């Protein structure tokens, strides 16, 4: 899952989410460039190497390496809140492979339930 939240002075603004197969430059780069205005935006990231190319693409990129996962809420509070709510409320595992496994499991459960009727 890739996400971008507009950070206002004391609140969040627009939210953009997309399912991406991998946390790679090839997946995250187009997502970021597609949801921002590179002339005006400052992009804050967790320092993942997949974002390193943003500066060379003309984006004001300010990475901050997370290090300890507990710092996620501190350095990127709005997207951390969004993804936490999604995981908790929908019980989502954001890995595409796990989503496929879950989908296949749900389909198999439905087939078994239909067969018992």
Q: Give a yes or no: residue 110 inside a domain.
A: no
Domain count, the chain: 1
Q: pTM value?
A: 0.65
pLDDT in tens, 14-41: 899 888 888 899 999 899 989 988 888 8
Q: Give a yes or no: residue 101 inside a domain.
A: no
Q: Give a yes or no: residue 39 inside a domain.
A: yes
Q: Give a yes or no: residue 105 inside a domain.
A: no
Q: Give a yes or no: residue 103 inside a domain.
A: no
Cα separation, 39 vs 100, in Å, equals 37
Q: Give a yes or no: residue 43 inside a domain.
A: yes
Q: Give a yes or no: residue 28 inside a domain.
A: yes
Q: Give a yes or no: residue 114 inside a domain.
A: no
CB 28 within 8 A of CB 54: no
Domain of residue 31: give its range: 2-92
pLDDT in tens, 40-67: 888 988 888 898 888 888 889 998 887 7
């Amino acid at each position: 899952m890739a996400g971008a939240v507009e950070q206002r002075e004391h609140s969040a603004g627009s939210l953009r989410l997309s399912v991406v197969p991998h946390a790679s430059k090839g997946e995250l780069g187009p997502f970021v460039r597609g949801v921002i205005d590179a002339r005006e935006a400052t992009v804050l990231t967790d320092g993942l190497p997949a974002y390193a190319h943003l500066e060379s693409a003309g984006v004001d990129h300010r990475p901050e390496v997370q290090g300890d996962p507990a710092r996620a809420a501190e350095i990127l509070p709005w997207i951390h809140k969004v993804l936490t709510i999604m995981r908790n409320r929908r019980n989502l595992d954001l890995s595409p492979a796990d989503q496929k496994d879950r989908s296949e499991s749900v389909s198999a459960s439905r087939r078994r339930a239909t067969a018992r009727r």
